[in-house]
Chain A
Amino acid sequence: MSERLEGKGAAKRGNRFYLSIVLFVLAGILLIGAVAGYILRGSASTRANLDKMRDSAVLHAATEGLVENIAQTARAEKLKELRADKNFRKRGLDEVNSICDEAMSAARIEAEKLYSNPAVEDEAALESAIEGFEAVLATSGKLESAERAVYSDIYLELVEGISDWTAVAAEGADDDAVISALAETSPALKDEANAHLRPGFVKLARDMAAAQQARQDAELQEQLTTMMTGGIADWSEYAGLQGDALWEKLTAELPELAENERFKDALLEKAAEYVAAAESGEPLPEAQASEEGVEPVSETQVDYAYFAPSAELAKEQQDNEEAFQALDAQLVTIIPDLGSLTGKLQDTLRADIEKVIWPGSLDFTARYEAYMAQKADRVLSGGAANTLKLASKAEALLLGGIALLLLALVMLFWETLTARFGVPRTIITLFFIYLCLLAELYNISVRMMLGNVLERMTMYGVLVLAMMPGIQCGIGLNMGMTIGCISGLMGIVLSLQFNMTGFLAMLFACLSGALISLPLGWAYSKLLNRMKGNEMTISTYVGFSFVSLMCIGWMMLPFNNPKIIWLLSGHGLRVTHSLLGSFAHLLDNFLAFKVLGIKVPTGGLLFLGVCCGIMWLFSRSRTGIAMTAAGSNPRFAEASGINVNRMRTVGTVLSTMIAALGIVIYSQAFGYAQLYTAPRQLGFIASSAILIGGATVSKAKVSHVLIGVFLFEGVLVFGQQIANSVLSGGGLSEVMRIMISNGIILYALTQSGGGRRE
């Protein structure tokens, strides 16, 4: 039996060896192609051909507007002609459309023939005009994207950081006062280089303040209405009253109304409805639920309406204008009809030409593709076209070659790698590297994404750390860590209930969350101690049940701060709580700095580091060693005098308490606290992260936590960005998350040997 197995293993090894050889050869071919492509890019004839393509593309783009114009005119004329016909009404819509479309395409073909080969008399002049425009566009394009990046940074800082805009842009405050208030949140505004952006942001602050005021007014008005309609039992007492008389009686009953004279009209209108209903004896109008929906939690979108160019950029844009005029003049000499274009058509023409000449960068591939979009390859003869194609694909070939080379290496050293790192970590690391290569291929900034990964590491790090003591003490993947998460959420809503802010709120949330999780974790561990061997199944369902039980809890608990409860029903916590104004991003912004354009969330990283350090020290302490021993070999531990059940309790309680801390950190990084069913899947996410890091269901280290959370979040962030830019429809990254996360847990389950663990 074992011989047969060995034979099978050897055969598999042999297959892998041959496969890797094939992959090496393929990789070699791709890499040779890439080298050839790069050499071709450098050659003078290729460059000349590319420039030739550009000129043709510009002409094509210029005439496209004309052709379209002629085609549309032809269509309109045909339609007019049909309308004049007395049989028009008898024809169906489809028939009319098809006749018009036919006329249009015929006209288009004619027009294309007319403009397809414009005779260029002075090629040198055209070329120099195009090159002039290209040079200006390149500098102004770079400058503009740099300035927009600065603007977007400040915008995000302000919009995510400021919760009370009315305080920033108080009524009567002059521009300087507003700016200095804004600069407290975003110090970059103090920089003189950004002075040109200030008026825009002042306007932004005023608009935001007005919007906020309007929102608050609407909310207050709704509250007052609810108070009035709910607070007055018998409307028939008010029968016959109107206007000021009604208002007087109402304010006498409810003095709060008098404080808010500005809602008088709206409230009176509502009151009149109720009075009328009471008089006619009809049932009172039901109060409509208007706020039961979940508030959307989405990434802040940057609004560029408040952007203003700097003096330098303005000058560049001026040059830009001149250069375009020069080019336009050249184009008009070649195609006189262009001179007749006016207004909107002229603008489209300019936009089209700009897109051809400056496709985001002057990279070879980008240029080639922009020209190809204008069918510019027809100016080249066969061989030249293929050479250019190869040159444009050089980068893709290089990346593909590297990818195959890596795969071949992994295949060749499969046994060594998996023995050292484990199967999941090897595969996911390879996958991550592939995603980086893909990002490079699609020109997505790897740096930006690494910044995102860093942010999400601080978000999930502590939650993943919560898995570690669970695994060490022998209960396996602690899917019931949701119990801890809910305790932490309870801490957060308590801090909101008491209107706490800043570090105090966070500290309170952490401490009270940990305190609540202590007895819960203890009881939970007692349960698990009786269920040895089935912990994961039980903890999953205990976690699920607890989440659903707490859904009822969130509805019924006597919270009464109007900021956190449903206003209309007057009880029950809302689903999503914004932590802006409380402790959103507090830790992440603490000592945060920027390096290479990446924002480093120092506070969050420090906190994660400290937590990991404490866990590391703990696992080296006497208790920690005893706990690990109890987890990895309970019988041996029992024999050497360790109380296994007690150690399991310590581990479980620790795991639950870290989970409580973790959700507080998670919420501060996210900016929102989400209740109800939101925490249900957190156990799965944390489990898969630590498993990817190299942990198993019976062994875990701090390094597994850190590597795991980096790889897991890395794959998700990169995957999402790439999926978004390749396939415009979202959803692929979510599918990927589901499959990776559950696949990895399934793999761990098959490796654990199931019941044989006892």
Chain B
Amino acid sequence: MNNQNKALAHVSKYAVTYLFIALSALFIVVSGLDINYVASQLLLRLNRNAFIVLALIIPIIAGMGINFAITIGAMAAQIALLLTINWGVTGAPGILLAAAITLPLAAFFGLLIGKLLNKMKGQETIGSLILGYFANGAYQLLFLFIFGTIIPLNDNVTIVGASGVQNTLNLTGKVGLYTAIDGIAHIPFLTALYIIAGALACAAVVQYLLKKISVKRLAVTLALSAVLAGVFSIPPIAAIFNGTHGRVIKLPLVTWMLILLLCLFNSTIMRTRLGQKFRAVGQSQTVANASGINVDRTRVIAIMISTVLAGWGQIVFMQSDGIGTFQTYAAHEQVGLYAGAAILVGGASIDRATNLQAMVGTFLFHSLFITAQSAASALFGDSAVGEYFRAFLSYGVIAVALIMYAWRSAQQRKAGQLNLAEQSR
């Protein structure tokens, strides 16, 4: 009985995730796309977007909902990239310079965002969304009317004969920022997988020997890594990746290391004092305040970290394989929407999120993204429907998550009131 209840609760909590798994499977089959193509695109998009999605976790834990204001972090990164291009710094140094400029810029923006969101507690999600729109106006003002006139820039980035920055900036060729991180080193997907499985197993054995985990845990971990390595060794599955059909699928090593580092950062910070503060503030601001935590300050720090990470995430995105151009006025627009939808698809909610959920969410969301158009033209004979379906999915997922969260908290409130009433009786 209890088990059944647990399973039900699990299913209802992850309903959206399961729905997306089913939809992705259906779409991949229906679209008729080559599986090698889908897998390579999926991994490409995963390393492009995972960083930004992971940037959403800390504000969620700190109880500030989905931080749609990460678009502002993206804008900071774009300002940094523009300056880098303007100064002609290329390759990895260029990326490092852009990241270095992004840090103070995004931290400052984060400070402002945090201060503003503190004035609208309980409405952070909508507040950060509209703040993102507002900032888009300021960004256009900066790029159209201030850069090139008040702040002089080189001719290669401005519109000749008018004020403002060009619509599209090329990152390839002489600019040399294209795949500046991705291109450093590549590793075949299967090799990476075996290394990870091996590392997992080794770590578990070491931890067991140090008596940090139980035998049961050890066995589970070992079995898991064995299955992971085993499944991908089955010839038909391995064939997708090892070049039997199409090209060998490779992962950009440095980018993935950055993503793993960020995951590590997210989980480590939660074990520090600051992380405890985030959690406490997220659970109850009143209790946190009573226990001597400066609630407002903690929230501002959470947003600042998120904004800086989002900025770096945008740099990772822009340099990534297959982008190549910098859409000056549009590159940041959908960042918040897609990242927010992705993390919610992974099973995160407005007040809970983990690294795994972010990664799974990005994976599922983008698997639909890749296949939606072809699937729609196969199903309805019109690829435009797929385009609209993607937009609907993005917004719909967020709407559903918001509704489920509001509904659950309403239920909890009601239950709390009933309890109180009973106690007083």
Contacts and interface: CB of A to CB of B under 8 A. Distances in A.
Interface of A: 527, 530-534, 536-538, 540-542, 544-545, 547-549, 551-552, 555-556, 569, 572, 676-677, 684, 727, 729, 731-732, 734-739, 742-743, 745-746, 749-750, 752, 754-756
Interface stretch (B130-138, B190-198, B233-241): B130-138
19 contacts: A531-B403, A533-B406, A534-B402, A534-B406, A537-B125, A537-B126, A545-B398, A548-B391, A556-B380, A727-B163, A729-B144, A729-B163, A735-B137, A739-B138, A739-B141, A742-B133, A742-B134, A749-B123, A754-B122
B120 A754 contact: yes
A729 B164 contact: yes
A547 B394 CA distance: 12
Contacts of B391: 548, 551, 677
Contacts of B385: 552, 555-556
A537 B391 CA distance: 18
Interface in B106-127: 116, 119-123, 125-127
B402 to A, nearest CB: 5
Nearest to A731: B144
B172 to A, nearest CB: 27
B: interface residue count bin? 35 or more
B140 interface: yes
Contacts of B220: none
Interface of B: 116, 119-123, 125-127, 129-131, 133-134, 136-138, 140-141, 144-145, 162-164, 380, 382, 384-385, 388-389, 391-392, 394-396, 398-399, 402-403, 406-407, 410
Contacts of A677: 391
A549 B138 CA distance: 30
Contacts of A534: 122, 402, 406
Contacts of B131: 742, 746
Contacts of A737: 137
Contact of B388 (A527, A537, A540, A548): A548
Find the residue from B131, B134, B138, B140 having the highest chain A CB count within 10 A.
Answer: B134
Contacts of A732: 141, 144-145
A530 B384 CA distance: 35
A287 to B, nearest CB: 14
Nearest to B380: A556
A435 B145 CA distance: 19
Contacts of B144: 729, 731-732, 735
A527 B116 CA distance: 29
Nearest to A743: B134
Contacts of B380: 555-556
Contact of A544 (B388, B399, B406): B399
B134 A739 contact: yes
A756 B396 contact: no
Nearest to B136: A738
A750 B116 contact: yes
List the 3 closest pairs (A to B, CB-CB), nearest first: A755-B122, A738-B137, A548-B392
B141 A749 contact: no
Nearest to B132: A742
B396 A533 contact: no
Contacts of B127: 746, 749
A756 B122 contact: yes
B399 A545 contact: yes
Given A530-B406, A729-B163, A749 B399 contact: no
A200 B43 CA distance: 66
Contacts of A756: 121-122
Contact of B126 (A545, A547, A736, A749): A749
Contacts of B399: 538, 541-542, 544-545
A537 B141 contact: no
Find the residue from B120, B126, B407 having the highest chain A CB count within 10 A.
Answer: B126
B384 A738 contact: no
A725 to B, nearest CB: 15
A569 B385 CA distance: 13
Nearest to A746: B130
Nearest to B391: A548
Nearest to B139: A735
B395 A569 contact: no
